[in-house]
Chains A and B, each alone.
Chain A
């Protein structure tokens, strides 16, 4: 519950009077306000600057320094004020948090100083409001990265006990770490360049000798080029194997783009070695040599700009797709039009629509080779329209790609920002859920505590009772009282998600196995009301009549049952089965003459519960079909939440 609406709690409670005539049961007693009625001003002296606020404003958040009794440590008796030797500028935001319920992060503030102040005053930074949260997170991440870089630098200076493999991997990834890595980096770069050059020069026609006609150098100096190629491939293979060996996660490394490029670059050579004898496949072998050009992509390890370009293209996939799609549409349209326009003229190059594609593409991209030109007037008109529209169609998506590139370039290695933002959104969602859920779990927890208090009061064990009396602020207790009134009005109780789901499951099972159809109809209005202890469910028709007289009997039995159960087992028990045993025992033992024919109810064992964290685990209530000759035992229907045993007699 936000602090701002704390002021409206009296209103909400007053409005609860609207439920009273509708309720069928008496309402719980309101918590009493023990504290002084009138509000007083508190003076907070932060390094000389005085802030004043109402005491109730600070009391809204009892688990922070200012809201709890911790501030008494800072109370100065002589000046009757609370003195804090902290930064007054940051204190502004902190005090505003109490006033408005929203924590803001001022932009001019240094992130670590702000964090310190928050920690000092006991406020968790996660509750920073939406308006400032992104900024806060960005700054925090930058700070963390800076610290990380510092750490890395320090790490580089000393030689930690890393395995040889880890050193190698680090050398591969960051060439600046050691001279060996740098050398390796440059050597591989050099060989990539050599390899690409040889591929290129292979095809250049060398000088014509008198004996032979012009032929490419590759065929003239076959052996030399073959040796070059072999050397390069050897080096690349060794490099790849070393990287594979050093990679911390080999599977992931093999899937990465760079490794695929490496493989594609060196494979054709080996395939070529294997297949030189087979004449038929030599055609394919030649094609494979094309793949050698992929070696140039290996440069992307060396050049960041190339990586960014590739990343841009990847991230602009949708724009590129759109560009392609719109171009295709336009090409088809214009090609069709040109074909039909030029159909009439003789000796036209526009022999078919696919043939016109070439003209359309050349015109739309404003290349204009001139190998195909329209001759008819209509053709020229449409040709000009085509060229004008080409400019538009291409010019539209291109700036998007360009701006993308520039954006990514400026962000540089902030690809993890995307990841961080996703985590952030998930975290925000989590926090919001926690905040909305917390007030309710708080209510459920306090309910359990109260119940247990009552039970323990019965048995007179006071030690546990004191243990459970957790201090709850008046505001919270009033809020819980309000929720309790609502429960009483509607004769239903708030439960935890898990219990609800369990109940859902159980009722669907029940609906198949239950014998008496009047179960559900009797449930709501008649019985499920009133005191927690005396909860009467009357599943069988003939039991509805003697409702009143059996109530007292039932409650007596319950009290004794409770006594037996709680006296023995403290709430932190995990073995549910023993409780069940007790239940059945008690049920059978206290088999005094009951006027009601009842059904025996057994509780299935629930998995061991966790007592911390407020999670409710409870065995749901299940009604197996009562045995045909039901023994006349008032069975005790026990639903146990983790600490509390609610007992109702039938």
Chain B
């Protein structure tokens, strides 16, 4: 009887290997608004929008970027370190309507500010990036988070060696420079004022103007 048992078991056995097919949820698809509308919304011309969209759609065929894909893409530019935290902050800065995904409109509007905006707008954008909870003030904790995220991107193989309090020190310097009334937070006016008086920052803001 055990022989019969084993025979039947052997016959059944190969079927156990088959993996159940799972139903794949169809990905969220998104189609952007027409070229004309986008041209009106942003400061790119048609050709530039075309090139941008082609690159965007190539990497994200579904038309939207969710946070994980965003982190993936951004991390590929910084292989030595961990770019995911900073990518998270960037994602929040780009995702203006807070729907958890960056569509092409969000993407292109953000880029329009960064590449074609006035210095004021760029500084505004940067302030928005640093202000994690979007309450209009940059606190030391928020800045520390951002700083740590930036330093994370360097990885550990740096020269000179990264110490644990390097981000904190950097934040201290930042606050010394920016926080004019020493109340522990940086408001948008203090920020823009201070940046406009710093010629290094002003010069570097123009650096990427001809990226597209």
Write the residues of chain A forming the contact surface with B, with a CB cutoff of 8 angstroms: 1-2, 4-5, 7-27, 29-30, 33, 38-39, 99-100, 365-366, 391, 394-395, 398-400, 402-403, 406, 436-437, 439-440, 479, 482-483, 485-487, 489-497, 499-500, 503-504, 507, 520, 523-525, 528, 639
Instruction: List the interface of chain B (C-beta within 8 A of A).
Output: 1-2, 5-6, 9-10, 12-14, 47, 51-52, 54-56, 58-59, 73-74, 76-80, 90, 93, 107, 110-111, 114-115, 122-123, 125-126, 129-130, 146-147, 150-151, 153-163, 166, 169-170, 172-174, 191, 195, 200-201, 203-205, 207-208, 210-212
- Chain B residues with CB under 8 A of A504: 161
Given contacts A366-B2, A398-B6, contact A492 B162 (CB under 8 A): yes
Q: Which residue of B lies closest to A9 (CB)?
A: B77
Q: Which of B1, B126, B156, B203 has the most CB of A within 10 A?
A: B126
**Given A1-B76, A27-B203, 14 further pairs, Cβ under 8 A:** A1-B77, A4-B58, A14-B111, A20-B204, A21-B130, A22-B150, A30-B210, A30-B211, A402-B9, A494-B154, A500-B157, A520-B163, A525-B166, A639-B159
**CB atoms of A490 and B205 under 8 A apart:** no
Cβ B55 vs Cβ A8 within 8 A: yes
Given the interface pairs A10-B212, A402-B10, the reply to whether A395 lies near B2 with Cβ below 8 Å is yes
- Chain B residue numbers with a CB within 8 Å of A495 are 157-159
Q: 4 closest pairs, A vs B, by CB?
A: A7-B55, A399-B9, A500-B157, A14-B114
How many angstroms from the CA of A166 to the CA of B190 in the assembled complex?
A: 86
B55 touches A494 (CB 8 A): no
Are B14 and A403 closer than 8 Å at their CB atoms? yes
The docked-state distance in angstroms from the alpha carbon of A437 to that of B78 is: 10
CB pair A507–B13 under 8 Å, yes or no, is no
Q: A21 and B201: CB pair below 8 A?
A: yes
Interface contact A7-B59, CB-CB below 8 Å: yes
Separation in Å of the B210 CB from the closest CB of chain A? 7
Q: What A residues does B93 contact at CB under 8 A?
A: 18
Are B73 and A8 closer than 8 Å at their CB atoms?
A: yes
Minimum CB distance partner of A18 in chain B: B129
Say what secondary structure dominates the interface of chain A.
helix
In Å, the complex CA distance between A298 and B14 comes to: 34
Judge whether B204 and A5 touch: CB under 8 Å.
no
- Contacts A9-B77, A20-B204; A500 near B156 (Cβ below 8 A): yes
A16 contact set on B, CB distance < 8 A:
208
**B3 → A minimal CB distance (Å):** 10
Knowing A11-B111, A493-B158, the reply to whether A30 touches B207 (Cβ < 8 A) is yes
Residues on B with beta carbons closer than 8 Å to the beta carbon of A391: 1-2, 5
Q: Which of A11, A99, A485 has the most CB of B within 10 A?
A: A11
Given A11-B107, A14-B114, check contact A22 B147 (CB 8 Å): yes
Residue contact A5 to B156, C-beta cutoff 8 Å: no
Contact check, B157 vs A20: say whether CB atoms are below 8 A apart.
Answer: no
Most buried by A among B6, B77, B169: B77
CA of A21 to CA of B155, assembled, Å: 21
Tell me if A26 and B204 are in contact (CB < 8 A): yes
Contact check, B158 vs A494: say whether CB atoms are below 8 A apart: yes
When distances are taken between beta carbons in the complex, the residues of chain A under 8 Å from B200 are 23-27
In the bound complex, do residue A494 and residue B204 qualify as a contact, i.e. CB atoms below 8 Å apart? no
Closest-by-CB residue of A relative to B14 is: A403
Chain B residue nearest to A365 (CB atoms) is B2
Q: Are A479 and B77 in contact (CB under 8 A)?
A: yes
Q: Which residues of B contact A523 (CB under 8 A)?
A: 160, 163
Residues of B within 8 A of A489 (CB): 150
In the bound complex, do residue A15 and residue B51 qualify as a contact, i.e. CB atoms below 8 Å apart? no
Distance in angstroms between the alpha carbons of A8 and B56 in the assembled complex: 7
A406 CA to B161 CA, complexed, in Å: 57
Pick from A1, A17, A394, A507: contact of B205, CB under 8 Å:
A17
Contact of B154 among A30, A437, A490 (CB under 8 A): A490
Chain A nearest Cβ from B152, distance in angstroms: 10
Q: Residues of A contacting B10 with CB < 8 Å? A: 399, 402-403, 406
Q: A38-B47, A440-B80, A492-B154 are in contact. Are A528 and B1 (CB under 8 A)?
A: no
- Chain A nearest CB from B83 CB (Å) reads 9
Indicate if the CB atoms of B159 and A17 lie closer than 8 Å: no
CB closest residue in chain A, given B191: A21
Bound complex: CA A639 to CA B129 (Å):
37
Name the CB-closest residue of B to A439: B79
**Known pairs A23-B200, A395-B6; A7 contacts B58 (CB<8 A):** yes
Query: CB within 8 A of A7: which of B54, B130, B153?
Result: B54
A-B contacts, 23 of them at CB < 8 A, read A7-B55, A14-B208, A15-B90, A21-B191, A21-B195, A21-B201, A24-B173, A26-B200, A29-B207, A30-B207, A39-B51, A395-B2, A395-B6, A398-B6, A403-B10, A486-B150, A486-B153, A492-B154, A492-B160, A500-B161, A503-B159, A503-B161, A524-B160
- Report A528 CB to chain B, min CB distance, Å: 6
CA distance A479 to B76 in the complex (A): 11
- CB nearest neighbor in B for A56: B51
How far apart sit A92 and B111, CA to CA, in the bound complex (Å)? 34
Residues in chain B near residue A22, CB distance under 8 A: 146-147, 150, 170, 174
Known A1-B76, A9-B77, A399-B9; judge A524-B126 contact (CB<8 A): no
Distance A9 CA – B203 CA, assembled complex (angstroms) = 21
CB distance from B5 to the nearest CB of A (A): 4
A257 to B163, CA, bound (A): 57
Chain A residues in 8 Å Cβ range of B122:
17
Chain B positions within 8 Å of A403 at CB level: 10, 13-14
A-chain residues with CB within 8 Å of residue B13 when the two chains form the complex: 399-400, 402-403
A403-B14, A500-B158 given; A17·B208 CB < 8 A: yes
B129 adjacent to A8 (CB under 8 Å) = no
